[in-house]
Each structure stands twice: as structure tokens, then as C-alpha cells.
Amino acid sequence: MLPIVQQPFQHDLMPIPDHDEHAREDFTVSLKLFMSEHIYPYDETIYEKRAKKKFVKQHSREPKNCTEIHRLMMQDPYTKFWSSIARNLQETLWDTQGRIVERQLNRITEVMTSKTTNPIGTLTIDPDFQMPRYIDAIDIHAMPGGYQTSLSETDVFAGAVFDRGAYYYTKGMVGPMGEGGGDALIMAVKKYFPNLKPRRVLDLGCAIGWTTTPLVDAFPDAEIYGIDVGAAILRYGHGRAEALGKKIHFRQENGENTSFPSEYFDLVLSGGVFHETSKKASEAIITEMHRVLKPDGVCMNYDIPYGGDYNLHSQFMLNWDSYYNAEPFWKNWTAIDRTQFMSSGGFKESRVIESWADRDLEGNFTFFADAFDKLHPSARGGIGRVHFFGAHK
């Protein structure tokens, strides 16, 4: 039988599973896909035909917000059933990846060292870096150790786990290189700002460089920078970029207050950063993106969908991760209007653009709207649909 999704691209640092480990990966992603198609969509039927009637009988009215629906549905055996499976799938995914990486961590570290001995790019780790509390207080995505954990000056464990684990978390929908999001950001920039010829580009919240490495080929005359808070993911990202022959400058920086001069970059990007960031920090980050951007420079971002125009049950489904998948800021982010958010950072509302794209199982993005489309699917998590928002300064 063919695998449910192709394995990710086997670059030199990529952890490689044995037969049984890959079988667990395949089982996990196949069950995730089955639930997306056959389980999650029917929760709304349960709500309409059973749970809402129960609520109306008790309160003589319908639920008035998604919080009430959350409390109602989490009492229903159907919702509790799939919630339990979804959480266990997440833990199984990370447990599998941890085992794969632990078994070959020495090899990965040795390869990273060899690839970075004479690098074409750079890596700057701040020995005095203060990890933001909103990052350090929880393991985002329920990934053990989160993005932030680094146990030694050569530790790459978090990066190696992320590289393979996040690929299967997204059911392969980031493409075999994990670069689908970066490719889509480039598509958005070239679609809306076709005349932009950046000389310096910043990927804020770059993790291991999934969104960063495609920038090298898209903008061959530009200096490419990637910043994040986790030392281990940056080390791995640096090694990965060197293995792929991509010249990138990785730096450990807090996106709320970077060390870059004002008006330094022509293009500033982020992919999936804000839903993993506190409201206060998000506001500081978008302000910082505006500060480091040159006049007429471009800021472009993608993240999980804005849920303000979803029906209430769809909002409940979208925000499930905030309660049960170690995503404490997810719910607040889905309620934030993106144009107003950009404006709060200093961008003029008249210069803000919003767009939507769907991504398929191969990681390809198709842009389908230049404004908010109210016809949203109710599939939990919004993995297939992505919200782009940006502006020129």
C-alpha cells in the first residue's frame, strides 16, 4: 500500500525513521485525514440536531457566543470522543518524532557541525538572551520542550523534531521541503507588489527556516535574514540551510525589540507567528516590523484564519486548539481584525491588503480572494485555508 503522504525531502540533517517508526507516522497522518473528512464535519450536525436543542430547552434561547457553544459541546459524547482522539494523535506524533531524533541525534549533530565548519551564511546566538515568558511558559503545539529548549551549545533536538514533526502535523500540506508557506509568501509579494526588488529581507519567527530558504532563490540579489527565539531550532536551521546551499543569516532575536537599525529592510515577512504570540507581544512585533522597514518597503504575513465572520459553531471548531492543543493565544488571534492590527503597528489602512489561499496535500497554494470570503469550511484548525495580510509602508 502506498503511504498516505510522501515522506519529507531527505536533506542531510533530516531524521530518518525505521520501518516501524514510519508506520506510526503513516498511521497518525491517515487518522488525522480521516477525522478531517469524516469526523469533524459532523460535529455541526450533532450541535444542530442534539446539543442546541438541549441548550434551548434549558435556557429558552440559542447560544449567543462560541464560549457557550464550547461549554455545551464539550459535554456531548461525540465531541468528547473526537477531542480525546485529536489530543492523543498530537501526543503520538511528537512521541514518534522524539524517538526518531533521539536514536540518531549524534549523527544529526555531526552532520550539522560538518556543514557549518565553512559556512556561506551565519549564525548568531545570544548567550544572554532572555526568553519571553509567553514562549517559555508552555510547549506550543504540545511539542515537548517547545521551540525554546536548548540544553547545550550544540543542541539541535528541537529543530530536528520540528522538521519532521511539523511536516506530519500539517499532513504534508507544507510540501516535501516544508517550504510551501514560504513559497506562498513569495507568491503574495509578487502578486501584490510586482515591482519590489528587495536588497534586504527579514523572516521574523523563522524557526528552522522553512519560510526562509525559498527566499534565497526568489530574491537572489538580496541579503536574507531569519530571526527566532530558540537557539536549538536556529542551529538546526543554519545547518539545514548550509546543507541546501542557501546563504542565510540566522540570529537569535526577540521580534518585539530587534537589534536592527530603523528602515533597514525592504521586505519583512512572517509565517504563522502571531497565533503563537501573546496579544501584547503581537502588537509590539507588528510595530517593530514597521520600524525596521524602509519607506515603501513591504510587510507580508500569513496566519490562521480570522474567525469573526464564521458562524458560532465554526468559531468553536476553529478555536479548539486554544483549549486542548497548547495554543493559548490561538483564540484571541482569530478574533483580531487583520487590517486594524496592521494599522495598530503604524501601517496606513488604505495600504493594507488581505487575501486568502487554500493549500492542498502537496503544499500548493491557490489564491482565491482579494478580500474576506465568508464561505469558510468548518474543518477544525483551518490547516487548509490561510489568511494573508500585508502592506507597504
- Render pLDDT for 350-364 as a digit per residue (tens, 0 to 9): 999 998 777 665 556
CB atoms within 10 A of CB 11: 16
- pTM for the model: 0.93
Q: How far is CA 141 from CA 224, 228, 322, in A?
A: 27, 17, 10
Percent of the chain with pLDDT over 90: 82
Residue 76 CA to residue 46 CA, distance in Å, equals 9
CB atoms within 10 A of CB 310: 21
Q: What is the mean pLDDT of the chain?
A: 91
Q: Which residue has 480570522 as its cell numbers?
A: 306
Residues in the chain: 393
Instruction: Among 143-157, 176-190, 267-281, 378-392, name the one with the lowest average pLDDT.
Output: 378-392
Residue 378: what pLDDT? 38
Residue from 194, 197, 265 nearest 227 by CA = 265
| Res 243 pLDDT > 90 | yes
**Between residues 173 and 209, the one the model is more confident about:** 209
pLDDT grade for 379, boundaries at 50, 70 and 90: very low
Cell numbers given for 148: 525554546
Whether 292 and 260 have beta carbons less than 8 Å apart is answered as: yes
Residue from 176, 193, 195 nearest 185 by CA = 193
Alpha-carbon torsion 39, 40, 41, 47, what sign? positive
| Res 375 pLDDT > 90 | no
Percent of the chain with pLDDT over 70: 92
Q: What is the tens place of the pLDDT at every residue in 95-136?
A: 999 999 999 999 999 999 999 999 999 999 999 999 999 999
For domain 1-393, say whether CATH 3.40.50.150 is its number.
yes
Instruction: Among 41-50, 166-175, 225-234, 320-329, name the one with the lowest average pLDDT.
Output: 166-175
